[in-house]
Amino acid sequence: MSNIDDELDEAMMEDENEGGMTQDDVEGDASNNDDVDKTQSTENSDEDNEANDGDGDIDEGDDTGDDNDDSVKDEDDDENNEETENLAKLKFIQSLPEGKMRQHEQYRRSHFDKMVVKRCMMQVIEESSGNDRKAPSVHMNLSIVMSGLAKKFVGELTEKARELMEKNGESGPIRPHHLREAHRKYYKAHPLARGRQRRRLLA
């Protein structure tokens, strides 16, 4: 009987070894499972970081898009302001009497030759600098600005001379003595430093 029991025990032990798992196998499987879980968590974290980076790029793109939208809006506002100003000027010109409208149109069309203005400026600079060889040159942009100022100055003198004629009850074209009187009053109201050599206007 004892032999039979020993054989049965040995058979049962073999069945348990074949069908079951040892403690080392269980621990090995657990460690493998932990490694798999760590690998999956690392992959998931990498994917999350890439997704976050993509979101950051999208946000930056959205900021750039907002800046472009703001610039487009500013340009549209500037165009609208220019159109509004042009319409206001047109309405103002149309509301002028016929004589004033004609004067305004002639004033807009009149201009000074830029090359002549540039030549005059260079002559004045050379006379003022004397023997200085480093006299500044006159650029075309500067002559354009000076021609605009000269046009404004002549327009003010002409308007002042016209007012003097109306005040004296005179009519017809403006005469030289009207311009001289307007020039005298202009410099009396706006004194400027002058050189020693003075030329009489329209002498």
Q: Is the dihedral of CA 51, 52, 57, 58 positive or negative?
A: positive
Ramachandran category for residue 70: left, alpha or beta (phi over 0 → left; psi -120 to 50 → alpha): alpha
The yes-or-no verdict on residue 156 having pLDDT over 50 is yes
Of 38-42, 98-102, 107-111, 179-183, where does the model show the most confidence?
Answer: 179-183
pLDDT score, position 4:
55
* pLDDT tens for each residue of 11-29: 565 555 444 444 444 444 5
Distance CA 156, CA 161 (A): 9
Q: Residue 34 pLDDT > 60, yes or no?
A: no
Provide the token pair at 186: 């202009």
Judge whether residue 188 has pLDDT over 60.
yes
Which pLDDT score is estimated for 39?
A: 53
> Is pTM beyond 0.75 here?
no
